[in-house]
């Protein structure tokens, strides 16, 4: 009888030990976090970097919002008034036409007023928005005479050569004019540190 009792007690002790170990392991398991929830929270709390304005409508965008829109990647560069070619490379961003088409019906024709964080602003007419701008000789920066016109796309860029823009020099966003050939356009059209664009009906 004593032997039987001892066996029962031993079995109970073993079971208790197994249960205790299982509980200890479960408690110390790393907890899986919901990364999608964290990403959504971060996305919601990210401050907007750009505002699109049309009449009494105003839409704010984070960099993430812009990156989720249809992207456009091509090459371009600009010629300065002093006769230098700069900024040549591949840019990624959003076509201006894509942004404007978010309003229904899209205003046609229209012009733009582009604002930068350093207080500069630039008025752009409809012909320029469509890419009808002067093209300069990429091999002779000192030549002030255009070698062609048109065929480029106006883009709100947020990446250069696959990397986010250098905030200290370009800001988070800048206006660029691109095509597959990497045409060189006038430097005054390339506005840096863009914060907002106002659509103006003509």
Map out the domains of the chain with their CATH numbers.
48-201 (3.90.420.10)
Rounded-to-integer distance, Cα 109 and Cα 95, Å: 16
Rounded-to-integer distance, Cα 16 and Cα 22, Å: 10
Global confidence as pTM: 0.77
Q: What is the mean pLDDT of the chain?
A: 84
**Contacts (Cβ under 8 Å, ≥6 apart) of 161:** 89, 90
The closest alpha carbon to 85, from 150, 135, 131, 153, belongs to 135
Q: pLDDT tens, 132-160? A: 999 999 999 999 999 999 899 999 999 99
Rounded-to-integer distance, Cα 79 and Cα 188, Å: 9
**Is 105 or 186 the better-scoring residue by pLDDT?**
186
Considering Cα of 15, then 20, then 24, then 26, what sign does the dihedral take? positive
In the predicted model, is pLDDT for residue 76 greater than 60? yes
Considering Cα of 157, then 158, then 160, then 165, what sign does the dihedral take? positive
Considering Cα of 164, then 165, then 167, then 168, what sign does the dihedral take? positive
**What pLDDT score does 20 carry?**
57
**Contacts (Cβ under 8 Å, ≥6 apart) of 8:** none
Q: pLDDT tens, 21-41? A: 454 444 454 444 343 344 444
Calculate mean pLDDT across residues 165-174: 93
Give the side-chain half-sphere CA count within 13 A for 178.
Answer: 24
> What percentage of residues in the chain have a pLDDT greater than 90?
68
**What pLDDT score does 22 carry?**
52
Rounded-to-integer distance, Cα 154 and Cα 86, Å: 17
Calculate mean pLDDT across residues 67-95: 97
| 3-state secondary structure at position 140 | coil
**What pLDDT score does 176 carry?**
99
């Amino acid at each position: 009888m004593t032997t039987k009792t001892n066996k029962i007690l031993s079995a109970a002790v073993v079971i208790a030990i197994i249960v205790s170990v299982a509980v200890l392991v479960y408690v110390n398991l790393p907890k899986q976090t919901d990364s999608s929830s964290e990403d959504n929270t971060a996305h919601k709390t990210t401050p907007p970097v750009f505002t699109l304005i049309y009449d009494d409508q105003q839409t704010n965008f984070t960099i993430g919002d812009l990156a989720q829109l249809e992207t456009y990647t091509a090459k371009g560069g600009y010629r300065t008034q002093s006769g230098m070619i700069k900024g040549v490379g591949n840019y990624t961003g959003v076509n201006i036409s894509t942004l404007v088409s978010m309003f229904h019906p899209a205003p046609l024709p229209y012009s733009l007023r582009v604002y930068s964080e350093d207080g500069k602003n630039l008025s752009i007419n409809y012909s320029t928005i469509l890419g009808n701008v002067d093209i300069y000789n990429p091999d002779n920066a000192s030549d002030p005479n255009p070698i062609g016109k048109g065929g480029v796309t106006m883009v709100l860029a947020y990446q250069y050569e696959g990397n986010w823009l250098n905030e200290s020099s370009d800001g988070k966003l800048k206006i660029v004019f691109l095509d597959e050939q990497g045409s060189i356009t006038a430097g005054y059209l390339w506005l840096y540190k863009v914060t907002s664009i106002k659509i103006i009906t003509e």
